[in-house]
Amino acid sequence: MGTNQQTIKAPISVSGHGLHTGAPVTMTFKPAPENHGFVFKRVDLEGQPEIPADVDLVVDTSRGTTIGLRGVKVHTVEHTLAALVGLQIDNALIELDGPEPPITDGSAKIFTEKLLEAGIEEQSAEREYFVIDEPIHYLETERSVELAALPSDAYHATVMVDYGSSILKAQHAKMNSLDDFSDEIADSRTFCFLHELVAMHNAGLVKGGTIESAVVVIENEVSDQEKAALEELFGPLERELKPGILNDTGLRHENEAARHKLLDLVGDLALVGMPLKGHIMASRPGHKANVELAKRIKAKIKQKRITRKFQKKEKKGLVFDINAIQEILPHRYPFLLIDKIVNFSENSITGVKNVTINEPFFQGHFPGNPIMPGVLQLEAMAQVGGILLLNTIDNPKSVWVYFVAIDNARFKKPVIPGDTVVLELEMTALKRSICKMTGKAYVDGQLVCSADLVASVVPKNKL
């Protein structure tokens, strides 16, 4: 039996200024019903619009994660979400009378303390986890950024950072479970290098930042001109600007930078929309990379839900059997030309067609020399492609999928009775209702057919 969902017992507020917008704000955490998730509400705007914490709604990752819906935005949501996830809270309404949560001291410490002060309440519904059962990767080779979500029986995270700095040494941080978050991770502050501050301000960022809202690293000697530019932004700096940590309080942890990157990672991955069981490993993570990994995880969640919807009985090595295929596709004998789907991901799919002498087309197509017609090979390919479009359609029974173009069709070898045709399709472009795919068909590992396909998705109510 799983753990039940949780919310908070009473509203609790935090006030301050947003880090990047500089706007004054009061943020109020409120209890929310089961299966509500995390939703931000802009109470300062007409209609008090709500924005769910959803990775599909991320609109910017410049030094923070911004979500937006219909032109309304909430900036820098990651510390707020990290505090909620770290305390294993599932449902909360987060009201703001400004565009960005308060930065406070640059960590999630105050948010965590306030949520604990409000109290955590167990709800009746069981918590649904997404269990990572196969590796999910994100890689940026040019920036040495690599993230992976690996199978595990609980939520773990390991972060490694190396900025080539003589002050901010290469370091790592680890969270063995969410039980460690409030004591080991929540108080770790955001950080930046001193030379970045003026550039970030000129880019329209850190308007609400102060020397007290982040760990500031001085990498090199500071010239009088650089000091003057900084004092223009932050007021007189009475302290000596020499290589080291600018803040009077120093570091809270020797590896505070790595711990804060782990905090950001937990907050950004909250955008997948459900709690995780898996080990997240990250080298030099940032908001862009975190969000890209979150998108990949959410795509896996969606595929799992689609699979469970149509495939009633789970079978090893099989995604959809013939019964599930008939739930998805409108085709029937003699025009249903695929037998099973064995692989299904966000942009690719693999189907199988077993060719037997009992196929009706062999009666008239080269009698005495039975060969599967090339047009039917393309039709089988198109049917597999139609199932691939499940990723883009909430209710496949509400649409028709018409193939409107076939280009570069090539037939390399005859397909004959007894062959097992493996059909692989990859989505290369998707724009509104038009989808482009490349398809290849193999028998015994040898290419027998290939083509580029274009499909149009038409709602049935528009016909």
| Kind of pairing between the strands at 38-42 and 24-31 | unpaired
Cα separation of 185 and 176, whole Å? 11
Selected catalytic residue, list 253, 260, 287, 331: 287
Own/partner contacts of 193-200, CB < 8 Å, gap of 24 or more, are 193/165, 193/168, 193/217, 193/218, 193/219, 194/218, 194/219, 194/222, 194/226, 194/230, 194/241, 194/246, 195/219, 195/220, 195/226, 197/230, 197/233, 197/234, 198/226, 198/229, 198/230, 198/233, 200/63
Q: Let me know the angle formed at the C-alpha of 345 by 342 and 348, rounded to the nearest 5 degrees.
A: 85
- Listed in sequence order, the residues at least 6 apart from 177 whose beta carbon sits closer than 8 Å to its beta carbon are 154, 155, 156
- Helices 256-269 and 287-310 cross at an angle (nearest 10°) of 30
- Of the candidates 63, 103, 65, the one whose C-alpha atom is nearest the C-alpha of residue 210 is 103
- The Cα 106–Cα 210 span in angstroms is 10
Give the torsion sign (CA, 36, 37, 41, 46): negative
Q: Is 279 a catalytic residue?
A: no
- Please give the Cα distance from 413 to 447 (Å, whole number): 8
Phi and psi, residue 170, nearest 5°: -55, 135
> Tokens for 154?
């609980």
Alpha-carbon distance of 272 to 76, in angstroms, equals 16
181/420 Cα distance (integer angstroms): 52
17 is catalytic: no
At which residue do the structure tokens 């009201």 appear? Answer: 95
Nearest-CA neighbor of 63 among 264, 294, 226? Answer: 264
| d(C-alpha 119, C-alpha 114), whole Å | 9
User: Is the CB of residue 31 less than 8 Å from the CB of residue 8?
Assistant: yes
Please give the positions annotated as active site: 287, 365
